[in-house]
Amino acid sequence: MDKIFRKCDALIIISLILLSMLALAAAGKPPFNKGGDLYAVIYVNGKEIEAIPLSSAEIGYEINTDTSPSTVIRIEKNCACFLNAECRDKICVNTGNLTKSGDAAACLPAGVVIVLKSAGKSKVDIIAY
C-alpha cells in the first residue's frame, strides 16, 4: 500500500502552515506603520477631512480650518489640540491636549471635531462624560 504522504508532501504542508501563520499575523496587523500608532482625524460638519499620523509629526505644525468661526489645530508628535478658535466660549481650546486613543475635542460653532484614534489596543472603548 502506498504511503499517503511523502517527505516532500510534509514539506509542502509545513510551508503552508508557516505561510498561514504569516497571513494571520498580517491580517491582525493594523493598517499603519506600528501597532498603537496614534492619528488625529479631523471632521468638519461631520465629514472627515484629514487623518494625520501623529507619530510622524516630528516637528509640530498648525492647521487653519476654513470654517466660520475659524479654528487653529496644533499637531505635534503623539499630541493634537485646538490652539485657538474665534468662537466665544473656547471650550475646544480649554479641552487641552489630546494624547490617547478616544480623546476628542470639538468646536461646536465651527463644526470641527478632532478625534484621536489608534490602530492598537486602547484601555477603554469609550468614555462616558
Q: Which of residues 35-64 bind another protein (CB under 8 A)?
A: 41, 43, 45-46, 48
106, three cell numbers: 470639538
Q: How far is the CB of 55 from another protein (least distance, A)?
A: 18
Does residue 4 interact with another protein by CB under 8 A?
yes
The gap between the terminal CA atoms of the chain, to the nearest Å, is 72
83, three cell numbers: 490652539
Does residue 18 interact with another protein by CB under 8 A?
no
Q: Which stretch binds another protein (CB under 8 A): 5-13, 56-64, 68-76?
A: 5-13
Residue 54: how many other CB atoms lie within 10 Å: 20
Residue 53: how many other CB atoms lie within 10 Å: 15
Which of 7, 59, 66, 128 is in the footprint of another protein by CB under 8 A?
128
- From CA 88, how far away is CA 98, in angstroms rounded? 21
Which of 50, 52, 74, 102 is in the footprint of another protein by CB under 8 A?
102
Helix (H, G, I), strand (E, B) or coil at 48: strand
Q: What angle do CA 110, 36, 33 make, to 5 degrees?
A: 95
Q: How far is the CB of 57 from another protein (least distance, A)?
A: 19
89, three cell numbers: 466660549
Contacts to another protein by CB under 8 A: 2-6, 9, 12-13, 16-17, 19-20, 23-24, 26-28, 30-31, 41, 43, 45-46, 48, 88, 95-96, 98-100, 102-106, 108, 111, 113, 115, 117, 121, 123-129
